[in-house]
């Protein structure tokens, strides 16, 4: 148990509605950041991290960290400092954990550490519980984002494929960081989110060309393109045929009335 000894130092909740960037610091303790609102852009030495709601970052003691760019709008995160003589023994194998499901532990730990009625060891005990949940999250199979979220995102893209969606649109709808969501998406579907959006958009375009009498210009409008030419360029890039050529190549069909 000595190898797993951890000591809670202090913690707090950062909250601002103003433009903000993390100051340059080098702490003698380990620090955990858990984002509850907005985005945090931070580096540890030369490694940059972009954090969104639900993300956890663990900063190593003795290493320099600082903001890499400004955050805008409301930014909120719990921060927690602790010490340990053997971090590796905790089993936390990644400095970043996305979509952490036990975020309530941060608020509980902050409450306990600021309530004199609890015994001195209570904060250390809760800290160890939190660290064990972080270790568990690191060993979950696949990505830490639930497959359910990725599946729902895929379905949402599919039913909205007649709109000019971007990765940012999907990320905002599901309240996830776009870069992270795309990587998690690739693990589940074998392609980044951007390609899936394009594939669904092309599927809708092909369906309209084959199964409606809409003109190419009308299809471009329905799919949210700025012009017929933009749609034609997009279609030809992905299909290796112009919309008109594709439509003309699929005219030979069987029809019946009963």
Q: Kindly tell me the burial class for residue 169, based on how many C-beta atoms sit within 10 Å of its own C-beta (0-12, 13-18, 19 or more).
A: middle
Q: In what order do the strands lie in the sheet with 6-16?
A: 6-16, 75-84, 30-37, 56-59, 96-97
Which top CATH class is 147-248? Answer: mainly alpha
Q: What is the pTM of this model?
A: 0.56
Q: Which residues contact 48 (CB under 8 A, 6 or more apart)?
A: 41, 42, 68
Largest distance between two CA atoms of the chain: 82
What superfamily does domain 2-139 belong to in CATH?
Regulatory protein AraC (2.60.120.280)
Q: Which burial class, exposed, middle or buried, applies to 248 when counting CB atoms under 10 A from its CB (0-12, 13-18, 19+)?
A: exposed
Tokens of 240: 């290796």
Residue 139: the pLDDT is: 67
> Residue 256 pLDDT > 70, yes or no?
no
Q: Where are the domains of the chain?
A: 2-139, 147-248
Q: In terms of Cα–Cα distance, which of 177, 214, 178 is closest to 194?
A: 178
pLDDT for 246 equals 85
Q: Give residue-wise pLDDT tens across range 37-59.
A: 899 999 999 999 999 888 899 99
> Is residue 15 within 8 Å of residue 76, measured between CB atoms?
yes
Q: What is the mean pLDDT of the chain?
A: 87
pLDDT tens for 10-34 read 999 999 999 999 999 999 999 999 9
pLDDT > 90 in the chain, percent:
55
pLDDT of 85-108, one tens digit each? 899 999 999 899 887 878 888 988
């Amino acid at each position: 148990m000595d190898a797993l000894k951890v000591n809670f130092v202090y913690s707090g909740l950062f909250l601002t509605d103003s433009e903000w960037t993390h100051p340059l610091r080098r702490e003698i303790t380990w620090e955990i950041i858990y984002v509850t609102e907005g985005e945090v852009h931070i580096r540890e030495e030369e490694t940059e991290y972009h954090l969104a709601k639900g993300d956890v970052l663990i900063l190593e003691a003795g290493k320099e960290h600082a903001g890499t760019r400004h955050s805008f709008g409301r930014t909120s995160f719990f921060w927690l400092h602790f010490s340990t003589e053997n971090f590796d023994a905790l089993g936390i194998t990644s400095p970043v954990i996305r979509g952490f499901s036990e975020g309530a532990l941060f608020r509980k730990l902050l409450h306990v550490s600021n309530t004199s009625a609890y015994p001195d060891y209570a904060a250390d005990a809760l800290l160890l519980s939190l660290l064990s949940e972080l270790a568990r999250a690191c060993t979950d199979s696949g990505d830490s984002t639930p497959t359910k979220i990725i599946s729902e995102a895929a379905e949402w893209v599919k039913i909205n494929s007649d709109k000019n969606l971007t990765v940012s649109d999907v990320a905002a709808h599901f309240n996830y960081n776009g870069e992270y969501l795309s990587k998690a998406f690739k693990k589940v579907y074998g392609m980044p989110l951007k390609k899936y959006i394009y594939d669904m958009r092309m599927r809708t375009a092909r369906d309209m060309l084959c199964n409606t009498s809409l003109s190419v210009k009308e299809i471009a409008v329905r799919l949210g393109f700025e012009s017929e030419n933009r749609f034609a360029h997009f279609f030809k890039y992905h299909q290796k045929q112009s919309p008109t050529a594709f439509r003309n190549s699929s005219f030979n069909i069987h029809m019946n009335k009963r």
